[in-house]
């Protein structure tokens, strides 16, 4: 049988996951000679065999590939026969071409490593940094591609003889496992006090940590992508102390449970939620709490007034050892000061967390990229990523439109809240991990550092930079700074030919939200898109957030929006939603001139001092510091505060979440009246005043606030259905932070599907501002002729 030489190029998630050892073993089973190596795009394989064996080889690659791997493209070409004598794994070769290989996210500890971890006969027994090609740190330690040990933070640890033997053995599970180590040669633990003095090392440090947690102490524990602040979740005093020290009075704490059985004592867990909890991503999953649970394993202060708990399982060997010893759930919240990035360095943590924590459990494996825990929620029986971080980031999205400018490298800088950046190389977009809100210097520096790190990893210079339209966002100013820097350093001339220059494209906030969904699902136009959120700078320089767009290949038309209402005091109204309630009531009842009577009946006046109320009424009358908004997110805030008045909110989305939780999964077909007339040539207002009027009426009649909340949600569903029925485009996109609301999203989907619409919404990419960068990239690639 004649042999031929073939080259096979594979890209996707094929580096750092045991793909080369898998190919090596498969080639030996099939008696194939040749080689494999990591490339800038994924892996390259050359083999010599018959056409029949080639077909069998390809079939087995697709059927038996490593569980965590993902093949996006597999291209075969024929070459001249050279006569290979064996099959080997070659070292990675430097290539003069763009790097587009996907970086593997950090992976939770696999079952094989867990067995070894607790096997007293194994040489890695109770070693808190055990890993193999199927699990462990990846993105958090990678400095550049290809994924080889010398390009990771593990390069400082020289492998002992036994580890190196495993690393070089193609039949071993740790063959080319870049973080491979053991207690002899790898990272180790230390327990520090607040002065940085070493109290214990190695396993004794872990044992002492467990005792301190049981005593109610607050521990800062260095993990995979940064520090956690850890306490006993049963200890009310410890929980309240952590809330006070971290300036976090209401926001729920994330929990880590020892095992699935203990989770089911506190929460309902569906088969899909179980699958997510046990997945290699091991994110925080929002789970419904069991009501009136006297057997609860946690104190009520963990998530006050919240029917959900954010829960994860142990995902590193250190966590497995810790939770096996404690055997009760712990609070594991991000190790940072209020609103700042997560700490990744023990020296940094000693300074920044000293006023919060009692002790520090640290290790000496450097973290290159900080990465928080991901957050996931099941909606419409789909996995919805709310925070894209550990286990998912950097997220690779392929733009499959054939018209995409593959040679154009693009940097997208996202928005202001829940920041994330993205890089486009070839036809792939790499979305970074969650970076937090850009409202302090530390988070701004994190954006800057992450941008530089991703550019260095992929070794590119962007041809285009894209950002939000808002002139005051740090990300916008940062984009402008980069452009200016290129000009000042003479890297390009302002008069330079356009094809060789770097350009800036600013994308309207809600258009970016919509194009993020279009990119994720590779949708074709035309379509109807609904973008609802809290805040977005509009083309008319007002604050948008309740938008309907008709999008075709030629134009983007804003066909409907909610009638604007004032934000009393601007951003202060977001923190004090009672101001929004007052503005909604004023606009609703201005014809009757009986605002005072209404607010007295609703008893809202008791949440304002008399002088404050007088000032706010003047601001309304004279339109002073009261920017207009069409935001559905702010509408949620105002209705929420009407039904459940609150002086201030202490975390983003708190008021809207409270309104969602009032629905309590109640189903109704009742809605409130609203008015809207469709004129195809203009933007048409949806008037909400009759909604507020009827809510006030029912509230004063002592109707259940749960029923009122349900009717409000169903009214919003009807608003969407009404517009969809009038426009009659089959494909509908739902985008923006409001669609993190499970009740709203599920009922909207069901209503639209019932009327034969095809509904698309974010799943892999956050629907909140964490997904903006992806949308900015796709829009910036749109034809220049597209018009608003």
Place 400 in a pLDDT band, splitting at 50, 70 and 90. confident
**Diameter of the chain measured on Cα atoms:** 96
pLDDT in tens, 276-322: 999 999 999 999 999 867 678 899 999 999 999 999 999 999 999 99
pLDDT in tens, 595-636: 889 999 999 888 998 899 999 999 999 999 999 999 999 999
* Distance between CA atoms of residues 155 and 166, nearest Å: 17
- Active-site residue flag, 706: no
- Whether the Cβ atoms of residue 639 and residue 682 lie closer than 8 Å to each other: no
Residues of the chain with CATH 3.30.420.40: 514-780
- Whether the Cβ atoms of residue 357 and residue 219 lie closer than 8 Å to each other: yes
- For residue 531, the cross-strand partners are 547, 735
Fold of 4-89: Alpha-Beta Plaits (3.30.70)
Which of 5, 11, 20, 235 is catalytic? The answer is 20
Residues of the chain with CATH 3.30.70.100: 4-89
- Whether the Cβ atoms of residue 258 and residue 282 lie closer than 8 Å to each other: no
Q: How confident is the model at residue 499, as a pLDDT?
A: 47
Which of 11, 33, 38, 747 is catalytic? The answer is 38
User: Is residue 467 pLDDT above 60, yes or no?
Assistant: yes
Tokens of 117: 């971890």
In 508-634 the beta strands, taken as DSSP E runs, fall at 527-537, 543-551, 556-562, 565-566, 628-629
Residue identified by tokens 């059927």 is 63
The mean pLDDT of the chain is 94
User: Is residue 693 pLDDT above 90, yes or no?
Assistant: yes
Fold of 394-468+470-507: Nucleotidyltransferase; domain 5 (3.30.420)
Tokens of 738: 């409001």
pLDDT in tens, 346-370: 999 999 999 999 999 999 999 999 9
Parallel, antiparallel, or unpaired: how do β-strands 428-431 and 395-398 relate?
antiparallel
Q: Can you tell me whether residue 206 is helix, strand or coil?
A: helix
Helix %, strand %, coil % of the chain (to 5): 35, 20, 45
Residues of the chain with CATH 3.90.870.40: 189-363
Place 497 in a pLDDT band, splitting at 50, 70 and 90. very low
Q: Can you tell me whether residue 258 is helix, strand or coil?
A: coil
* Distance between CA atoms of residues 532 and 541, nearest Å: 17
Reading phi first (left if > 0) and then psi (alpha if -120 to 50, else beta), residue 548 is in: beta
Residues 6+ apart with CB under 8 A from 168: 175
User: Is residue 51 pLDDT above 80, yes or no?
Assistant: yes
- Active-site residue flag, 694: no
DSSP assigned state of 526:
P
Nearest CA-CA partner of 349 in 533, 187, 436, 221: 221
Range 30-33, long-range pairs (CB < 8 A, 24+ positions):
30/56, 30/57, 30/60, 32/57, 32/87, 33/84, 33/85, 33/86, 33/87
Tokens of 685: 């207002």
Residues of the chain with CATH 3.30.420.360: 394-468+470-507
* Distance between CA atoms of residues 670 and 41, nearest Å: 54
User: Is residue 93 pLDDT above 80, yes or no?
Assistant: no
* Distance between CA atoms of residues 179 and 166, nearest Å: 12
Helices vs strands, H then E, count in the chain:
23, 30
In 80-217 the beta strands, taken as DSSP E runs, fall at 87-89, 189-192, 198-201
Provide the whole-model pTM: 0.95
Parallel, antiparallel, or unpaired: how do β-strands 43-49 and 70-79 relate?
unpaired
Q: Which CATH architecture has domain 514-780?
A: 2-Layer Sandwich (3.30)
- For residue 216, the cross-strand partners are none
CATH class of segment(s) 189-363:
alpha beta
Q: Can you tell me whether residue 585 is helix, strand or coil?
A: helix
- For residue 4, the cross-strand partners are 49
CB atoms within 10 A of CB 160: 14
């Amino acid at each position: 049988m004649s042999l031929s030489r073939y080259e096979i190029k594979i890209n996707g998630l094929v580096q750092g996951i045991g793909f080369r050892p898998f190919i090596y073993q498969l080639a030996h089973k099939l008696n194939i000679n040749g080689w494999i190596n990591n490339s800038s795009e994924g892996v390259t394989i050359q083999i010599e065999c018959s056409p029949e064996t080639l077909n069998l080889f390809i079939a087995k690659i697709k059927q038996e590939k490593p569980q965590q791997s993902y093949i996006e493209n597999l291209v075969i070409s024929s070459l001249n026969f050279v006569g290979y004598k064996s099959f080997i794994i070659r070292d990675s070769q430097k290539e003069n071409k763009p790097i587009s290989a996907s970086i593997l996210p950090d992976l939770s500890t696999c079952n094989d490593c867990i067995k070894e971890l607790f096997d007293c006969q194994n040489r890695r027994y109770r070693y808190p940094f055990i890993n193999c090609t199927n699990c462990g740190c990846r993105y958090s330690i990678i400095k550049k591609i290809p994924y080889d040990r010398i390009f990771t933070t593990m390069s400082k640890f020289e492998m002992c003889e036994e580890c190196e033997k495993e690393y070089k053995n193609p039949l071993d599970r740790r063959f080319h496992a870049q973080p491979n180590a053991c207690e002899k040669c790898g990272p180790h633990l230390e327990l520090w006090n607040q002065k940085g003095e070493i109290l214990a090392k190695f396993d004794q440090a872990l044992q002492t940590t467990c005792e301190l947690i049981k005593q109610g102490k607050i521990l800062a524990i260095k993990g995979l992508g940064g520090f956690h602040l850890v306490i006993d979740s049963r200890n009310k005093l410890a929980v309240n102390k952590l809330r006070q020290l971290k300036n976090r009075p209401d926001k729920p704490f994330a929990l880590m449970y020892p095992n699935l059985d203990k989770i089911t004592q506190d929460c309902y867990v569906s088969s899909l939620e179980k699958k997510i909890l046990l997945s290699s991503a091991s994110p925080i999953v929002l789970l419904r709490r069991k009501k009136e649970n006297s057997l609860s394993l946690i104190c009520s202060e963990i998530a006050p007034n919240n029917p959900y708990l954010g829960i994860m399982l142990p995902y590193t060997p250190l966590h497995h050892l810790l939770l096996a010893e404690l055997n009760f759930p712990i609070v594991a919240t991000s190790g940072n000061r209020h609103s700042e990035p997560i700490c990744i360095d023990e020296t940094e943590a000693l300074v920044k967390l000293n006023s919060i924590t009692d002790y520090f459990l640290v290790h000496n494996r450097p973290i290159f990229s900080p990465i928080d825990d991901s957050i996931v929620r099941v909606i419409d029986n789909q996995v919805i990523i709310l925070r894209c971080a550990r286990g998912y980031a950097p997220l690779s999205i392929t733009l499959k439109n054939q018209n995409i400018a593959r040679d154009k490298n693009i940097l997208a800088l996202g928005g202001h809240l829940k920041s994330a950046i993205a890089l486009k190389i070839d036809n792939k977009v790499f979305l970074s991990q969650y970076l937090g809100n850009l409202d302090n210097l530390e988070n701004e520096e994190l954006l800057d550092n992450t941008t530089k790190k991703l550019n260095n990893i992929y070794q590119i210079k962007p041809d285009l930079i894209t950002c939000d339209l808002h002139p005051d966002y740090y990300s916008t100013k940062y984009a402008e700074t980069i452009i200016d820097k290129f000009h000042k350093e003479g890297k390009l001339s302002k008069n330079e030919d356009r094809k060789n220059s770097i350009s800036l494209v600013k994308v309207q906030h809600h258009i970016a939200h919509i194009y993020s969904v279009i990119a994720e699902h590779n949708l074709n136009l035309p379509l109807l898109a609904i973008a609802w959120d809290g805040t977005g700078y509009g083309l008319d320089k007002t604050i948008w957030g309740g938008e309907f767009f008709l999008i075709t290949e030629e134009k983007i038309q804003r066909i409907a929006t909610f009638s604007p209402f004032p934000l009393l005091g601007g951003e202060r109204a977001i923190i004090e939603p009672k101001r929004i309630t007052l503005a909604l009531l004023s606009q609703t009842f201005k014809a009757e001139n009986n605002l005072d009577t209404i607010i007295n009946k609703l008893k809202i006046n008791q949440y304002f001092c008399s002088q404050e109320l007088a000032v706010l009424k003047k601001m309304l009358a004279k339109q002073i510091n009261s920017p207009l908004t069409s935001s559905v997110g702010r509408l949620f805030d105002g209705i929420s505060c009407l039904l459940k008045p609150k002086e201030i909110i202490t975390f983003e989305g708190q008021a809207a979440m409270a309104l969602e939780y009032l629905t309590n999964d109640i189903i109704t077909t009742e809605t409130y009246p609203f008015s809207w007339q469709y004129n195809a040539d203009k933007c048409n207002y949806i008037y909400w005043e009759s909604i507020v009027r009827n809510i006030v009426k029912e509230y004063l009649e002592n109707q259940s606030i749960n029923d009122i909340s349900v009717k409000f949600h169903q009214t919003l569903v009807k608003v969407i259905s009404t517009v969809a029925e009038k426009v009659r485009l089959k494909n509908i996109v739902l985008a923006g932070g409001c669609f993190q609301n499970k009740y709203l999203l599920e009922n909207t989907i069901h209503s639209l599907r019932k009327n034969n619409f095809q509904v698309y919404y974010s799943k892999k990419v956050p629907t909140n501002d964490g997904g903006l960068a992806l949308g900015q990239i796709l829009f910036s690639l749109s034809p220049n002729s597209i018009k608003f």
